[in-house]
Each structure stands twice: as structure tokens, then as C-alpha cells.
Amino acid sequence: MLKFFTTFYNGFLDRVKSLLGSFDPPNSFSWQTLIMLSLFSVFMAWLATGLMRDLLAHFGCIFLILGVYWGTTANKALRIGDVPLSPWITGAITSIYIFRAFVGELSPKALIAWPLISAVIAALPPCLDENFKPKIPPKEKRQNLALLLTSQLILSCWFQFYFVVQNWLMEYPTLLTDNFRQSAFVVQVGTPPSVARLPRGVSILDLTTSKLQKELNNKPWSDVERILLPQEREKLFNQISVQVKEQIASTRIKEDEFWQVEYKNPSIRGSGYNLELQALWQGPRSQSEPYFITKSCQITPVNRQRGEEMFQVSLVKCEPASGWGVRKSFVATQ
């Protein structure tokens, strides 16, 4: 066991020495010197305060970017085919530095800007002479530069499109319920087909019917019939609608304004009434017509006994929500 630990320790030391040896500058003018200057600047920034700390930290990042670009460019094995990876490695570090130092946060914009920054870094050598003065690139390299810039612009647009779609799905979660099979850009991944995603309209209808039951359950039947008259009914549903919007409101989700709750006039069913609610989705969708979800509630009188006296109160029972197809228009009747 002791021999094993000794061998492991010696091997670990050899690896550390080999790693440190690769950063040992062969001369003062080398990429290793820039890396060492970067580490030294970061260490001094850790000791300093105020403006000097920020200045040293910026110098540390700049030395690191220059050192990484020089070192990765010198490594001829660091390429895919004939394409060197140095500009993209340096571009990633540069993008992180810019957005952390000047924007204040590492946002998705850093990834969006990464291909463009990398393209600029890759295009600099043909556009600069030995004295770092601008020059017109040779004719044989102009086509490659044009392809490089346009391809990185397209890649940047795809990154931005990804984040736009993700923001849409956060702000409008009902979009996940829609069908993306015919989309050339959006593919649903990570969710088994057997797992159903319920649109937000189901929650809105459930909350609406819950408040309706709270308002009408166990009320005298004569009062309920009066409430179901057009004027009183309109007043009740306006009140419930305001309460639902206040309770379900979210600063992160913006789709609620695209949900419209409607109701058919109560129809007589046996000794009671049937009330049908519809939540209509009028936001972004794959079909031209709005989607709808339906929920039916039965309002019936039940007998209650108080002492020797019998009287009727209302009982509201609601079925589970159903639907999510193309809206079928209906005409309300008085």
C-alpha cells in the first residue's frame, strides 16, 4: 500500500512539474511570458484595492487573451483539418472578458457575440501588415474571409434564435402544448411523448370554477337563480375574472393577456342549469384560428333540512377541462 501511494505521489509531482515546465518561458518574448504576466497581475489585483485593483485585473485579462492567442496559434496540432482553433478559443475568452468587465454579467449575449469576435480575430492577420497597420487582404484570401465572416454571422444568428425561442417558452409556456412537427427550426427534446403538457388555460379555468363554486355553493336556490340572470351573472363573472387575473399573475409569464375566458348562457338541465366555460388561446400558435379549452359545470338544487324545515341550496359540480383544438364559434342566447 505504501509503495502504491509513493508511486502515485511521484507520478503526480511529475505531472505538475511537466505542466509548470510548459509555462516556463524559453525567452522573454514568448506566450509563456504573457501568461506569467497575467497570473502576476491577477495576484497583485487580489492584494490591491479600488481603481488599482480594477486596472490590474484588466491587464491580467488582456495578457491572458494575448498569451492564449499566441500559444494556441503556435500549436499547429490545435486545428480541425486546415482550420486553426486559435481564433475561437481566444474569441471565447475575449467574449467572457468583455461581458463580465463592461456589461457586468455573463449573459447569453456573450455566446451570441462569440462567433463574431472569433471571426474578427481570425480575419486580423490577413488585414494587418508586419507593423500592425491596416492593409487590403490578398485576393486569394478574400473569398475565405467572406465565407468566414458570413458563416460566423449565421452561427451567431442561430445562437440568438435559440435564446429567443427559450424566452418565448418561458413567457408563453402554452407554446409547449402546440405541435412543432412541421417546424424546420424547433424540435422538442427531453420530454417523453407520453407526458402531456397542459396549457395554462386549464389552470385559469380550474381557478375560475373554484371561485364560482365558492360563490354559489350552499346558497339559497332562489338567490342562485337570481344571480344567473344576465345582469347579475355578468357582474359575478367580471368579479371572478378580476380575482383570477390577480391571483394567477406572474412577472415571468406574459401569456395571460392572450387567454380570454368566455361562457355560454346557462342552459336548463333537469332541475338545474348547465354552465359551460371556455378559455380561448389567442396568442402565438401553429393554426390560424384560436384554440379553446372547455369546462362544464352543473348547478343543481339539493334539499337541506334545518330542524323541521326543508329548503333548497345550490350545489356546483364541474367536470375536468377538455378540448385544445380549433375554436368552434357559438352564439350566445338570452
Whether the predicted pLDDT of 48 surpasses 60: yes
- Burial of 207 from C-beta contacts in 10 A (0-12 / 13-18 / 19+): middle
Whether the predicted pLDDT of 36 surpasses 80: yes
Which of 142-168 are b and which e, b meaning 16 or more Cβ less than 10 Å from the residue's Cβ?
eeebeebbeebeebbeebeeeeeeeeb
pLDDT at 186: 67
List the domain boundaries for the chain.
2-173, 200-326
Report pLDDT digits (tens) over 297-328. Answer: 999 998 887 767 788 899 999 988 887 643 44
What confidence tier does 329 reach under pLDDT thresholds 50, 70, 90? very low
pLDDT at 331: 36
Q: How far apart are the C-alpha atoms of 334 and 267, rounded to whole Å?
A: 10
Say how many C-beta atoms besides its own lie within 10 A of residue 82's C-beta. 5
pLDDT at 325: 43
Helix (H) or strand (E) holding 165: helix 139-171
- For the chain, what is the mean pLDDT? 81
What are the phi and psi torsion angles at 322 (to 5°)?
-145, 170
pLDDT at 9: 57
The residue written with cell numbers 364560482 in the block is 212
Listed residue (275, 272, 294) closest to 233, CA to CA: 275
pLDDT at 194: 44
- Burial of 137 from C-beta contacts in 10 A (0-12 / 13-18 / 19+): middle
Rg (C-alpha) for the chain, rounded Å, is 34
Report the alpha-carbon angle 306-309-315, nearest 5. 60
pLDDT at 326: 39
Helix (H) or strand (E) holding 224: helix 221-227
- Burial of 332 from C-beta contacts in 10 A (0-12 / 13-18 / 19+): exposed
Query: What is the percent of the chain where pLDDT is above 70?
Result: 83
Contact 176, 248 (CB under 8 A): no
Report pLDDT digits (tens) over 249-269. Answer: 887 888 888 888 888 888 888
What confidence tier does 2 reach under pLDDT thresholds 50, 70, 90? low
Please report how the helices 108-127 and 139-171 are oriented relative to each other, as an axis angle in degrees rounded to 10: 180
Helix (H) or strand (E) holding 88: helix 86-98
pLDDT at 248: 84
Q: Partners of 275 in the beta sheet?
A: 297
The residue written with cell numbers 338541465 in the block is 269
Report pLDDT digits (tens) over 68-127. Answer: 998 888 888 888 888 889 999 999 999 999 888 777 777 888 999 999 999 999 998 888
Contact 175, 254 (CB under 8 A): no
Whether the predicted pLDDT of 51 surpasses 60: yes
The pTM of the full predicted model, rounded to 2 decimals, is 0.68
Q: What's the rounded mean pLDDT across residues 148-155?
A: 94
